[in-house]
Amino acid sequence: MNASPVDQISFQNPFVDELRGETSGNKGSRQVPGYCYSLVQPTPVESPHLLAWSEEMGDFLGLAKPTERGPAVDALAGNLVTASMKPFAARYGGHQFGNWAGQLGDGRAISLGQAVAVDGSRWEIQLKGAGPTPYSRRADGRAVLRSSLREFLCSEAMHHLGVPTTRALSLVGTGDEVVRDMFYNGNAQAEPGAIVARVAPTFIRFGNFQLMTAQGEIDNLRALADYTLRHHYPELGPPSPETYLRWFEEVSRRTAVMIAHWMTVGFVHGVMNTDNMSILGLTVDYGPYGWLEPYDPDWTPNTTDFGSRRYAFGQQPRVALWNLMALAQALTPLVPDAQALRSGLNEYASTLASTQHTLLLRKLGLTPLMPDEDRALTEALPQALSEPEIDMTLFFRQLSHLAPALMAAPDNEAALFQELIAAAAYSAAPNEDRNLLQWLRQYATRLRQEAASGEETRTTMLAANPKYVLRNYLAQQAIEAAQTGDLTALETLMHVLKTPFDEHPDHAALAAKRPDWARDKPGSATLSCSS
């Protein structure tokens, strides 16, 4: 199949064609009752130019990589709307930090329509930072290079880690400046503007359904649910009360799989509002995210959440369940017995436990030989990692390399453990690692019961434990360089994060522990919802 420029492909528009939408084109911020979306044109930017392109996503969509400037980049910046595009902003609501926020909607994202991939599947292309929409409230609908680069990089990094996620296609500089107050502390600054084209089968969220029910728009609720079933869950059968229940179970299952992946790679989303939860169980809306460096279940990168730590790493499984309960409440008008939705919540709990356990066994090089002992081993690990402030990514990677030696029952086992802890710990206190040493001894004993050879186990573990993740300080370094026009750091990160399980000896510095200078640096440690 020959690749085509994005400005020359034919877009499909089922969301617009099949659901009720507002067609006035008025970009003014306002309430939009009775509709699923608003048609809205992107606002042109001064000087669009390509900064980054996902080769993998482009190839999958059958799209040719654009030159730095030209019609394709104009389309990815919102300056060119082709005849087959029907740009729209979706209307939804949501709970933000546990409080109902009413109408929210796509305040700085505009979907162009669906592109048909090489396998015949359809993928929505959405421009984030494309200008104001009726849902922009008091904002300008724009995005800065800082947040756009973070979303572009992390979307692709998560995909290559095997985490369910939305994708990114392109990062385009706008030539305009955007004023942002990064930490909401009165220090607003002008920053370079950018637009990221992100991609998913759909960007429908829990909040789309919540708003319909909250506003009593049951016809729209049913229409949206039926649309979602037809286009994204056709295997469940035609819409009916029984199908709605099976659908909620499947949404719950997918959400559990996503959360299990987050917890086993050390990812912290940072702002798990219900409007940031994908109906497909995909990671969506990369804002103040981060990766655990010192293992701390109470850590959040989001300064807005420092008071309650509602969205801290260790709270993510509980919050996802809370969000699913909110979705279940929104779906009650579609089923005769609201209690029947509890089966979906039970599915979430069981799937989360089984998936997280399976992923951890793989990371530890274990097969399910001894269910009770293995469960105790995986459940004891978080506490063991917390006390010496272990870097989770480094710990599992180093453990992978250590596996053959441990399986050989060496006389210097204790020294190997100390070497591992020294390589992965941020804490310098040697007496605080007693739980971890005890855990490592139990693990080594269990590992020796495996039938595989040491080298086979090492290979399996290296394929499950990445050497490279998108640490915040690495993203911040790429941002600072890109703001001066230097894209080298961005391109290097893109290259390495495509194959995060490989060694990449020339780029080993990107796998190092977070340096001391990044501990408290804005953007490298802490971010906000404006990030």
pLDDT tens track for 362-405: 999 999 999 999 999 999 999 999 888 899 999 999 999 999 99
Can you tell me the distance from the alpha carbon of 197 to that of 89, in angstroms, rounded to the nearest whole number?
Answer: 14
My answer on whether 215 and 118 are in the same domain is: no
My answer on whether 160 and 91 are in the same domain is: yes
Which residues of the chain are modeled with pLDDT < 70?
1, 182-184, 428-433, 528-531
Does residue 508 form part of some domain? no
- The reported pLDDT for the residue numbered 431 is 54
My answer on whether 73 and 163 are in the same domain is: yes
- The reported pLDDT for the residue numbered 445 is 96
Task: Indicate the SS3 state at residue 502.
Answer: coil
Q: At 404, phi and psi to the nearest 5?
A: -60, -40
98 DSSP assignment: T
CB 380 within 8 A of CB 439: yes
Can you tell me the distance from the alpha carbon of 73 to that of 71, in angstroms, rounded to the nearest whole number?
Answer: 5
My answer on whether 49 and 111 are in the same domain is: yes
Single out the residue in 153, 180, 203 at which a domain terminates. Answer: 203
My answer on whether 73 and 195 are in the same domain is: yes
My answer on whether 46 and 77 are in the same domain is: yes
Q: Could you tell me which of 21, 210, 214, 420 has the C-alpha nearest to residue 225?
A: 210
Single out the residue in 462, 477, 509 at which a domain terminates. Answer: 462
Range of the domain at 280: 207-358
Does residue 259 form part of some domain? yes
Single out the residue in 333, 358, 383 at which a domain terminates. Answer: 358
Q: Could you tell me which of 310, 269, 308 has the C-alpha nearest to residue 288?
A: 269
> CA-CA distances (angstroms) from residue 222 to 35, 125, 210, 279, 335?
13, 25, 12, 15, 11
My answer on whether 213 and 303 are in the same domain is: yes
**Domains held by the chain: number:** 3
Neighbours of 235 (CB within 10 A): 8
Does residue 493 form part of some domain? no
Does residue 519 form part of some domain? no
My answer on whether 179 and 66 are in the same domain is: yes
> CA-CA distances (angstroms) from residue 61 to 3, 370, 387?
8, 44, 46
My answer on whether 307 and 180 are in the same domain is: no
Which amino acid is located at 423 in the chain? A
Residue 306: CA count within 13 A, CB half-sphere: 9
Task: Provide the pairing of β-strand 189-200 with 167-180.
Answer: antiparallel
- The reported pLDDT for the residue numbered 428 is 63
Does residue 37 form part of some domain? yes
Can you tell me the distance from the alpha carbon of 184 to that of 530, in angstroms, rounded to the nearest whole number?
Answer: 8
- In this predicted model, what pLDDT tens digit does every residue of 125-162 receive, in sequence order? 999 999 999 999 888 999 999 999 999 999 999 999 99
Does the active-site annotation cover 305? Answer: no
- The reported pLDDT for the residue numbered 524 is 77
Does residue 106 form part of some domain? yes
CB 94 within 8 A of CB 205: yes
Contacts of 252 (CB under 8 A, 6+ apart): 324, 344, 345, 347, 348, 351
> CA-CA distances (angstroms) from residue 530 to 29, 90, 184, 304, 527?
19, 21, 8, 10, 8
Can you tell me the distance from the alpha carbon of 170 to that of 116, in angstroms, rounded to the nearest whole number?
Answer: 17
> CA-CA distances (angstroms) from residue 425 to 398, 494, 509?
12, 27, 17
Does residue 388 form part of some domain? yes
CB 134 within 8 A of CB 26: yes
Q: Which of 7, 74, 275, 285 is an active site residue?
A: 275
Neighbours of 368 (CB within 10 A): 10
My answer on whether 307 and 404 are in the same domain is: no
Task: Provide the pairing of β-strand 99-103 with 189-200.
Answer: unpaired
- The reported pLDDT for the residue numbered 531 is 44
My answer on whether 194 and 211 are in the same domain is: no
Does residue 81 form part of some domain? yes
Residue 490: CA count within 13 A, CB half-sphere: 24
My answer on whether 72 and 34 are in the same domain is: yes
Start-to-end Cα distance in the chain: 39
- The reported pLDDT for the residue numbered 183 is 62
Can you tell me the distance from the alpha carbon of 459 to that of 419, in angstroms, rounded to the nearest whole number?
Answer: 21
Task: Indicate the SS3 state at residue 492.
Answer: helix
